[in-house]
Chain A
Amino acid sequence: EAGVVQSPRYKIIEKKQPVAFWCNPISGHNTLYWYLQNLGQGPELLIRYENEEAVDDSQLPKDRFSAERLKGVDSTLKIQPAELGDSAVYLCASSPGGPGRSYEQYFGPGTRLTVT
């Protein structure tokens, strides 16, 4: 079974430029998460999808961040414009959801963003 796939793995951009990250969850997983992980910190939830619906985006800075999961499968997270403080690792995770399994989260390798 293929794991959570993320691309790119690394991205270096100049501030004020746009950037997008892509995530393909494990097949059959209806729940998808985007996390932000700053250096030396634990992941913090940005947004959670149930199929194509964003059910928890309270931590997403909506002035510059946006996300979509149009067909309920893969997802894109975008930042426009990027700021120096956005330098971090962006993690995607997926979960099969459902009774007794909603706690299972499988993480991708992450995208390490450096804003210069």
Chain B
Amino acid sequence: AQTVTQSQPEMSVQEAETVTLSCTYDTSENNYYLFWYKQPPSRQMILVIRQEAYKQQNATENRFSVNFQKAAKSFSLKISDSQLGDTAMYFCACGNSGGSNYKLTFGKGTLLTVNP
């Protein structure tokens, strides 16, 4: 069984500033992936960034980067140069790779508001 915990229900940041969203997880799998998804108000969920657990290098996608601490089972998301369009719910998720039992387990989400 997998669990994902997001301890920050809400966060806010000023436009152009940097913000970090926290996530911890627990899994018994050796091979797994970690994800951050963004769900804007009344819009569909989209993938922001993913990290393969076997890779030590932290993933980066433009203004989005992660801090993956495997031993601590921590997977935080850093958003640099925050933009108004970044306002959304952010969900951390863990998924085991391959096999027939693949599925994502999501955290409860963090509502991020970017203020002008």
Chain A 1-18 interface mask (CB, 8 Å, partner B; 1/0): 001100000000000000
Complex contact B103–A91 (CB within 8 A)? no
Complex contact A103–B44 (CB within 8 A)? no
Enumerate chain A residues within 8 angstroms of B47, measured Cβ to Cβ: 104-106
Q: Does B28 belong to the interface (CB within 8 Å)? A: no
Q: Does A42 belong to the interface (CB within 8 Å)? A: yes
Complex contact B46–A107 (CB within 8 A)? yes
Complex contact A42–B100 (CB within 8 A)? no
Q: Which of A43, A50, A99 contacts B106 (CB 8 A)?
A: A43
Residues of A within 8 A of B (CB): 3-4, 33, 40-45, 48, 50, 55-56, 91, 99, 102-110
Residues of B within 8 A of A (CB): 4, 33, 35, 37, 43-47, 50, 91, 93, 95, 97-98, 100-104, 106-109
5 A-B pairs (CB sep. < 8 Å): A4-B44, A42-B91, A43-B45, A43-B91, A102-B97
